[in-house]
Amino acid sequence: MEPFAVILMRKDSETGFFESEVGSYNIPSMGEYLESIFVIDKEEEDMVHLRITTATPVKDWEYSAIYDYYDEDRVSALDFVIKVEPIEDDYDPLWEVTFKLLDNIEETEEQIQKILETHHIELQEVMQEIKDKEEEYK
């Protein structure tokens, strides 16, 4: 996928409505895993909520298998990540990664990229692990 920019928006935690633009961030690669990104003010700190998913739609049986084998600890082991949470009410597997928004745009871009790269590695390993497990999940 080609590099692209995302606009980071502030979201009201009570209404869920987007209020204002926070900034524009360049994503050099692996942006196909990015489902959405927004900021919520929590206890006077801006927290980024980055939702990551699979790059392509998954088969019905793969949905459960991916969640069973995906290790959220791999992403949460990144020293800046506060929380990784699976979101199981979406069509494809989806995780929300929360981390503090930095004032420095380049550092925030690096954090986003590191999350995407770590997710990519974990997801590739999961797909390799489950490739022969279709019968177990049908």
pLDDT confidence of residue 2: 72
pLDDT confidence of residue 43: 78
Cβ neighbours, 10 Å, residue 54: 19
> What string of DSSP letters covers 28-87?
-S-GGGEEEEEEEEETTEEEEEEEEE-SS---HHHHHHHHHH--HHHHHTSTTEEEEEE-
User: The whole model's pTM is what?
Assistant: 0.94
Mean pLDDT, each 10-residue run in order, the chain (138 residues):
86 90 94 95 91 94 96 97 93 96 96 98 97 92
Strands of the sheet with 45-53, listed across from one edge: 18-27, 4-11, 34-42, 45-53, 94-100, 81-86
β-bridge mates for residue 5, sequence order = 26
Amino acid at 134: E
Q: Are 117 and 78 in contact (CB under 8 A)?
A: no
User: Among candidates 44, 63, 43, which has minimal Cα distance to 54?
Assistant: 63
pLDDT confidence of residue 14: 86
pLDDT confidence of residue 1: 60
The angle, 0 to 180 degrees and rounded to 10, between the axes of the packed helices 60-69 and 105-130 is 110
pLDDT confidence of residue 4: 85
